[in-house]
Structure 1
Amino acid sequence: MIYLSEHGITLEEVKKIVLHGEKVTLSGEVKTRIHANRQIVEELIDKEQTMYGINTGFGKFSDVIIPSKDLTTLQLNLIRSHACGVGEPFSEHVSRAMVLLRAIALSKGYSGVRVRLVEQLLDYVNAGIHPVIPEQGSLGASGDLAPLSHLALTVIGEGEVFYKGKRMPTIEALAQAQLTPLRLEAKEGLALINGTQAMTAVGAIAFFEMEKLLYQSEQIAAMTFEGLRGIIDAFDEAVHVVRGHEEQIGVARRMRELLKDSLLITKQGEVRVQDAYSLRCIPQVLGASWQTVHYAKEKLQTEINAVTDNPLIFSEAEKVISGGNFHGQPIAFAMDFLKLGVAETANLSERRIERLVNPQLNNGLPPFLSPNPGLESGAMILQYTAASLVSENKTLAHPASVDSIPSSANQEDHVSMGTIAARHAYMMLQNTRMVIAIELICAMQAVEHYGVDQMASQTRELYKQAREVVPSIERDRIFHTDIEKLTTWLKEN
């Protein structure tokens, strides 16, 4: 059991809850803080003090005062009218992360909601109830309004959820889980939807996958290095220490470890004096990709514990302040930066694939790694597919965060598009995984040419495991199946 406390939560704990089903609950001191904060809201409502979104309209309607008798209707209308998302639904992991992160933000005690509302969100997480939330429709400022509204619909028993492997009306899932929908009180609808939890949830899942994918890319690159008889001198520690980037030093160290007992690697001058950049500069390029991951991790770690709705209620000072913490610019920038690291991981991999299959570059390997060149095309079109995926990544790498479009009659005149940035980063990750799967298919074929027994022990273990998924190329076959199987294997292992 993981407790939400005043000390916050770590990305690793989010991973345990979202991906591995760890249960989560509120600590006692957090419940006390939430309750005290809610009392302030109720007292200010009784005093008929004007407070944005509590007794006023929203956005351009912020100057419209709402009578006390209509405050709960105001919240209900908000949720229904803002549930305008379109497109395919987010994955259950992303949906689960959104519910968790919204609960964390509300648990900080600045949102003016009841304890019961936060507990309802955690009940969803613990029961495996995942709102059906369309991927598209958020501007990433004034909160992820559209996606979070679809989440909020389920809190009141409307909309749809995924539950026990099925998509169904929320009310059916709640009945099966022995839960009941809530009636939202003043401020609670706005508190549910004003935040950055869609982009942050997608960003967190992307971070988890990118971290694993980069390690896998290093392992596969090491096998390619063997298949092309790479020059190990380029990974010498002295080379990387004098430049000083810790991530680059780390990649070089791991490459030396992966290849330490290989009989296929070479020294300067044995086969050639220098390797092409796609081999020689693996630490420099992947090290820089790791820098984008570390930057994204830093910003995500802050944002998962951030208070991002509006207005905020400060209990001790009895102040209600309208601010802009819902603006997603920090995550938008982080995701756009991560996209560069993802793109270059794929770019470098595709260049190694080209060297493996090109008879003018592959150091004597069969043309296109074909078992019968000419009659059989071998891995020729595998490289085409990788090139296509890399090119698609380049279009997705365009920074979403520079594409602000005003909304709400220019009241909300600058937005982050952070959710688009996060979605594109995740799409690029899926493309990149397919690219490195193709590289692995080609690398395994290349090392077989020289002898698997000559491989380093670590790369040979990877070879053995991957060969249980995809057999050796002995004749032309439908390689689509190989790519799919190996891509799934990389994602799941």
Structure 2
Amino acid sequence: MIQIGQSALSLNDFSELIFKQKEVALDAAALKKINTNFEFLKQFSSNKLIYGINTGFGPMAQYKVNEENILQLQYNLIRSHSSGSGKLMTAQLSKALMIARLNSFMQAYSGVHTDVVELLKELINNNIAPCIYEHGGVGASGDLVQLAHLGLVLIGEGEVIFEDAVHPTMDIFTKFNINPLSIHIREGLAILNGTSAMTGIGMLNIIQAKKLLNWSVLFSAMINEIVEAFDDHYSHELNVVKRHKGQNAVAGMMRGILKDSKMIRDRSEHLYNPDNLDQEIFEDKVQEYYSLRCVTQILGPVYDTIAQVENTVVNELNSVNDNPVIDHENQNIFHGGNFHGDYVSLEMDKLKIAITRVSMLAERQLNYLLNSKLNQKLPPFVNLGVLGLNFGMQGMQFTATSTVAENQTLSFPMYVHSIPNNNDNQDIVSMGCNAALMTKRVIDNSFEVLGIHLMTILQAIDYLECKDRLSTISRSLYEEVRVIFPKFIEDAPKYKDLARVKDFLENTDHITSFSK
């Protein structure tokens, strides 16, 4: 189990909960604080005018709500804001959202009853995912619409995803003997006012972005093997004089992958040989194209960006991000804007730009392999059949090019797309959930592009009959992927092969082992 409330959740904790189905446990000391916080709110709010307890919401806060209607007010908020549209989020994204919301509540500054966190724990541990729609949140007063759909399920209404099917909430609650939430004071506002949708999605984006970076480094190393490149462009000596952590980390990863390769060449043994000085035109290319030679400089900033994004979004995950903040220790309630999603929105935009760059690098390396005039080693489109009759990887290149172009368009930032709404109460908004969802799409697209890239690399290795000269790591990947994508000569549909390879790239954990 992963204990929540005792200490800050890490990216690894989050990954274990999502991908390894570990269960959450609620820290007893944190539960006690939540109860203390709730009791303080109950006592403090008596005979006071407090936003969202006995007032309307947003621009309607000027209207007082009568005592007999204050609980109904919370239900009205949840129901009225359950107005999402578009695609349903996957069960995985919905679970990520719940983990993020639960972790925020466990900080004990939200004034909620312990029933809320206990119910969230039950849903997470039983893989019951609220039906939450992609469209609706502007990421300023929190992810209001997405979190309203969570609230709708918590009160026993709406629908849930369970075992890959959509069910009425109460059907599944009855199956598990789960009681829906009864509002106590402000649970409706507490559930809706937060950044947990964008944060949960963002956490998953970071996990998958790290995989993409690692694959990109590995494929870049393998293409350098295929062309029998020189080793100095990823050497310690060349990279250490550039004072960027990411560049030097990528260079170190490449050295680790290629340390026992029999295909990479030492420049001193070839171009520095005095016998070459008599040549007017060198057969050996003195320097490779940028997509092969500048990998550390291109992927280094991606490495650094992911690290920065992780730091910021993990901080948000472990923050109190609703309004108002119920502070029982200082015996006060503080109104403000911790629900504003700018931190996550900006980081998601940075992440999607970085991952688009990864897909662009893969596309250029792919083009190099497919263009015989560039590589001067392989047949056109790495066609292992009869030239003119067969087509090799020609058709797959169109898919890669099209998908990278989509990534480039999607990479325009959401962060600068504020549109005032809510009677201009929300006059500047973050669009953080949109940013996180668009980043997820860029990441999904990039797995497709890298899948096509890997398929082409394997075909090139077979054409050159060089698998026995590859590094141990490269050879291991070759053997593993050839099980699901066998060598082909004759033309056949490739879309199912691509789907299998993409699934392999998305769900393989051991990719991180070579980068440690």
Query: The TM-score by the shorter chain falls in which range?
Result: over 0.9
Distance 2:165 2:22 in 1: 21
Distance 1:101 1:247 in 2: 28
1:271 is matched with which residue?
284
Aligned partner (choices 312, 316, 338) of residue 299 of structure 1: 312
Deviation at 1:35, TM superposition (A): 1.0
Question: Contact 2:225–2:470 at 8 Å: present in 1 too?
Answer: yes
Residue type of the partner of 1:126?
A: N
Question: Contact 1:289–1:341 at 8 Å: present in 2 too?
Answer: yes
Q: String of CA shifts for 1:190-221, please: whole Å, max 9, x gaps.
A: 00010001101110111111111211121122
Question: Contact 1:75–1:185 at 8 Å: present in 2 too?
Answer: no
Question: Contact 1:106–1:118 at 8 Å: present in 2 too?
Answer: yes
2:280 is matched with which residue?
none
State whether structure 2 residue 117 is matched by structure 1 residue 103: no
State whether structure 2 residue 116 is matched by structure 1 residue 117: yes
Deviation at 1:111, TM superposition (A): 0.9
SS, match of residue 401 in structure 1? coil
TM-score after normalising by structure 1: 0.97
1:357 is matched with which residue?
370
Distance 1:379 1:470 in 2: 13
1:80 is matched with which residue?
79
State whether structure 2 residue 25 is matched by structure 1 residue 25: yes
Q: String of CA shifts for 1:455-488, please: whole Å, max 9, x gaps.
A: 2221111111111111112122112222112111
State whether structure 2 residue 424 is matched by structure 1 residue 425: no
Question: Contact 1:248–1:283 at 8 Å: present in 2 too?
Answer: yes
Map residues 8-407 of structure 1 onto 2, 5 A cutoff.
Answer: 8-46=8-46, 48-268=47-267, 269=271, 271-370=284-383, 371-407=385-421
Question: Contact 2:348–2:436 at 8 Å: present in 1 too?
Answer: yes
Deviation at 1:261, TM superposition (A): 2.1
Residue type of the partner of 2:398?
A: Y
Distance 1:244 1:317 in 2: 45
Question: Contact 2:5–2:103 at 8 Å: present in 1 too?
Answer: no
Question: Contact 1:34–1:107 at 8 Å: present in 2 too?
Answer: yes
Residue type of the partner of 1:184?
A: I
Of residues 397-406 and 13-22 in structure 1, the stretch that sits farther from structure 2 once superposed is 13-22
Question: Contact 1:6–1:108 at 8 Å: present in 2 too?
Answer: no
Residue type of the partner of 2:315?
A: T
Distance 2:178 2:239 in 1: 57
Distance 1:91 1:19 in 2: 14
Of residues 430-439 and 26-35 in structure 1, the stretch that sits farther from structure 2 once superposed is 26-35
Aligned pair count?
492
SS, match of residue 415 in structure 2? helix
SS, match of residue 50 in structure 1? coil
Distance 2:322 2:63 in 1: 20
Q: String of CA shifts for 1:225-282, please: whole Å, max 9, x gaps.
A: 2222222221111111000211111111111221222222234437211000100011
Distance 2:354 2:6 in 1: 34
SS, match of residue 161 in structure 1? strand
Distance 2:329 2:504 in 1: 53
2:7 is matched with which residue?
7
1:475 is matched with which residue?
490
Task: Give structure 2 stretches of 5+ with no counterpart.
Answer: 272-282, 509-516
Percent of pairs identical after alignment?
A: 35
Aligned partner (choices 410, 427, 437) of residue 451 of structure 2: 437
Distance 2:19 2:110 in 1: 27
State whether structure 2 residue 468 is matched by structure 1 residue 453: yes
Distance 2:106 2:252 in 1: 42
Distance 2:19 2:425 in 1: 38
Residue type of the partner of 1:261?
A: D
Of residues 308-317 and 195-204 in structure 1, the stretch that sits farther from structure 2 once superposed is 308-317
Deviation at 1:6, TM superposition (A): 4.5
Distance 2:169 2:257 in 1: 50
Deviation at 1:414, TM superposition (A): 0.5
2:479 is matched with which residue?
464
Distance 1:458 1:22 in 2: 30
TM-score after normalising by structure 2: 0.93
SS, match of residue 167 in structure 2? strand
Question: Contact 2:84–2:146 at 8 Å: present in 1 too?
Answer: yes
Residue type of the partner of 2:417?
A: D
SS, match of residue 372 in structure 2? coil
Distance 2:44 2:75 in 1: 21
Residue type of the partner of 2:431?
A: M
Distance 2:334 2:127 in 1: 35
SS, match of residue 45 in structure 2? helix
Deviation at 1:9, TM superposition (A): 1.8
Deviation at 1:5, TM superposition (A): 2.6
Question: Contact 1:161–1:168 at 8 Å: present in 2 too?
Answer: yes
Residue type of the partner of 1:410?
A: D
Q: String of CA shifts for 1:12-38, please: whole Å, max 9, x gaps.
A: 112212221212122221112111111
Q: String of CA shifts for 1:71-119, please: whole Å, max 9, x gaps.
A: 1100000000001111111111111111111111112111111111111
Question: Contact 1:71–1:185 at 8 Å: present in 2 too?
Answer: no
Task: Give structure 1 stretches of 5+ with no counterpart.
Answer: none
SS, match of residue 492 in structure 2? coil
